């Protein structure tokens, strides 16, 4: 079905099923990043149409109205790659099968479907020799499925454990840190595009259960389904639970766990999703908002941790597009696709171009006006001060005696932490401070990141 455009660039037709939170962002990337994608793939991705319920509805990213259609079959018949972002079981299942049977490759983010009808879909794809990719279905933007399937395929995974649902993590985090009610936190998660169309799937744990079934299928190389997961959601968590957990030094997280178990001659995998108390210093306790994180334990690799945005339109669209580009490269070039060819036109820039913040420790005369003088140098460079602390310089008794005898001005230590600013301006500020007569030394300049 690949066609050639009038510029001799081959064209791959893409059908998008669903134009909601994630679908809209995929449409945006296909449109706005078309040139970049063409350069990476060696073929142009042509968005042939978007299957929706209502062609007249307003969307997060609006395409020309001609591209919206309610005729999925016709759209699929014109596609090399079909991206399913509708959610739900039917008609998503039937449409994916129709695409596969027509020889189109499929990308989906539909964990509910894969965790219930995965075997049927993967068998159909294998029979037809087409790709079915689904990185977006588990933990949004986090590349977790490909590492499990490919990178760890020479190892034996023993356990997968993590936070796999953004909505519930957001709700629990908001309840824990702001005291907001369950209902308000859920409404906010829906507004931000984290929740499923029916958020019961999130709060009852079914979404995390579907994800852990998919994770386990790849980790243990055996098919697992949603109904095999022991699942408890967060609907029963009360403010009292939160208070008791906090008082004991814990935080409540909804964990999804799949582990290889061999007890009393039974060898298999236990799959579970439930609210869990974690010590506040545990790495998973620090996973805030709609972020997800997954620990993978393997016999030879040891412990690995994957972390990133677990939900949201843009983040999830990134994972969808990763699958699309990978498939498109294979369709275009065969095998694993064209090797990565770096762009030579992109320059490596000097560090002065970056933005960061500084901690600057200044030893200066402890006398009126000095602080204002030093602070004015920040202002001159447009550097904003986040915090400033002043303390008298700590001298040993011997040093103090010697300084007094020499008639030296008492010294103060000023410690500044700046807001983020252009590195060059921060460096220039430090140089200007060092020039001041009232400054005896700048004793420490360190960059601050992660603030």
Nearer to ligand NAI, 90 or 299 (CB): 90
Binding mask 159-178 for ligand LTNE7NMQ (x = CB under 6 A): ------xxx-----------
DSSP bridge partners of 162: 256, 294
Beta strands in 190-290 (DSSP E): 230-231, 250-263, 266-279
Q: Give which of Na ion, ligand NAI, ligand LTNE7NMQ, none residue 142 binds (C-beta under 5 to 8 Å, depending on kind).
A: Na ion
Closest approach, Cβ 181 to ligand LTNE7NMQ, in A, equals 18
Closest approach, Cβ 197 to ligand NAI, in A, equals 4
Q: Give which of ligand LTNE7NMQ, Na ion, ligand NAI, none residue 276 binds (C-beta under 5 to 8 Å, depending on kind).
A: none
CB closest to ligand NAI, residue no:
20
Binding of residue 139 to Na ion (CB under 5 A): yes
Binding mask 272-311 for ligand NAI (x = CB under 6 A): ---------------------------------------x
85-93, 174-182, 398-406, 427-435 -> range binding ligand NAI (CB under 6 A): 85-93
Tell me whether residue 211 is one of the annotated catalytic residues: yes
Q: Which of 161, 266, 269 is nearest to 224 (CA)?
A: 269
Q: Is 326 left (phi over 0), alpha (psi -120 to 50) or beta?
A: alpha
Cα separation of 190 and 193, whole Å? Answer: 5
Q: Give which of ligand NAI, Na ion, ligand LTNE7NMQ, none residue 165 binds (C-beta under 5 to 8 Å, depending on kind).
A: ligand LTNE7NMQ
Q: Which of 51, 134, 194, 224 binds ligand LTNE7NMQ (CB under 6 A)?
A: 194
Binding of residue 140 to ligand LTNE7NMQ (CB under 6 A): yes
* Residue 201, C-beta contacts closer than 8 angstroms, at least 6 positions apart: 112, 207
Residue 285 in contact with residue 253, Cβ under 8 Å? Answer: yes
Q: Which two tokens stand for residue 74?
A: 């016709």
Angle at 447 between CA 445 and CA 451, to 5 degrees: 135
Binding of residue 142 to Na ion (CB under 5 A): yes
Q: Which two tokens stand for residue 169?
A: 């993590």
- In the Cβ-directed half-sphere of 359, how many Cα atoms lie within 13 Å? 10
**DSSP alpha helix (H) spans, 258-410:** 313-333, 370-380, 397-405
Cα separation of 320 and 134, whole Å? Answer: 7
* Residue 384, C-beta contacts closer than 8 angstroms, at least 6 positions apart: 378, 418, 419, 421
With contacts defined by CB under 6 A, how many residues of the chain interact with ligand LTNE7NMQ? Answer: 11
Summarize as ranges the residues that interact with ligand LTNE7NMQ (CB under 6 A): 140, 165-167, 194-196, 202, 207, 310-311
Which residues participate in catalysis according to the annotation?
211
Summarize as ranges the residues that interact with ligand NAI (CB under 6 A): 18-23, 51-53, 85-88, 91, 109-111, 136-137, 140, 193-194, 196-197, 311-312, 316
């Amino acid at each position: 079905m690949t066609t050639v455009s009038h510029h001799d660039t081959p064209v791959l037709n893409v059908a998008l099923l669903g134009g909601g939170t994630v679908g809209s962002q995929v449409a945006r990337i296909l449109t706005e990043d078309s040139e970049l994608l063409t350069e990476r793939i060696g073929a142009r991705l042509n968005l042939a149409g978007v299957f929706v319920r209502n062609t007249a509805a307003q969307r997060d990213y609006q395409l020309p109205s001609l591209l919206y259609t309610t005729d999925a079959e016709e759209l699929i018949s014109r596609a090399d790659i079909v991206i399913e972002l509708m959610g739900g079981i039917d008609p998503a299942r039937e449409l994916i099968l129709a695409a596969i049977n027509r020889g189109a490759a499929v990308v989906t983010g539909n964990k509910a479907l894969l965790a219930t009808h995965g075997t049927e879909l993967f068998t159909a794809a294998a029979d037809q020799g087409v790709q079915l990719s689904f990185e977006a279905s588990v933990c949004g933007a986090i590349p977790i499925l490909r590492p499990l399937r490919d990178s760890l395929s020479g190892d034996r995974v023993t356990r997968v454990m993590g936070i796999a649902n953004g909505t519930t993590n957001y709700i629990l985090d908001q309840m824990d840190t702001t005291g907001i009610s369950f209902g308000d936190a859920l409404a906010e998660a829906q507004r931000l595009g984290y929740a499923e169309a029916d958020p019961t799937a999130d709060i009852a744990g079914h979404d995390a259960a579907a994800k852990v079934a998919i994770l386990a299928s790849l980790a243990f190389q055996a098919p697992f389904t949603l109904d095999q997961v022991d699942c408890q959601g967060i609907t029963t968590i009360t403010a009292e639970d939160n208070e008791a957990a906090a008082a004991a030094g814990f935080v409540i997280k909804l964990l999804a766990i799949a582990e290889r178990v061999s007890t009393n001659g039974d060898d298999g995998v236990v799959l579970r999703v439930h609210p869990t108390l974690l010590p506040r210093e545990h790495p998973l306790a620090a996973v805030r908002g709609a972020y997800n994180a997954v620990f993978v334990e393997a016999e030879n690799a040891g412990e690995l941790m994957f972390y990133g945005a677990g939900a949201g339109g843009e983040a999830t669209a990134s994972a969808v597009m990763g699958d699309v580009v990978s498939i498109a490269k294979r369709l275009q070039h065969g095998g694993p696709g064209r090797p990565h060819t770096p762009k030579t036109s992109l320059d490596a820039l000097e560090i002065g171009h970056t933005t960061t913040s500084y901690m600057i420790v200044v030893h200066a005369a402890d006398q009126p006006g000095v602080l204002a003088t030093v602070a004015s140098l920040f202002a001159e460079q447009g550097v904003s001060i986040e915090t400033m602390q002043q303390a008298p310089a700590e001298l040993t008794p011997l040093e103090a005696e010697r300084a007094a005898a020499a008639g030296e001005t008492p010294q103060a230590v000023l410690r500044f932490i700046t807001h983020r600013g252009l590195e060059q301006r921060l460096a220039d500020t430090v140089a200007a401070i060092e020039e001041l007569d009232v400054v005896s030394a700048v004793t420490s300049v360190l960059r601050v990141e992660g603030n």
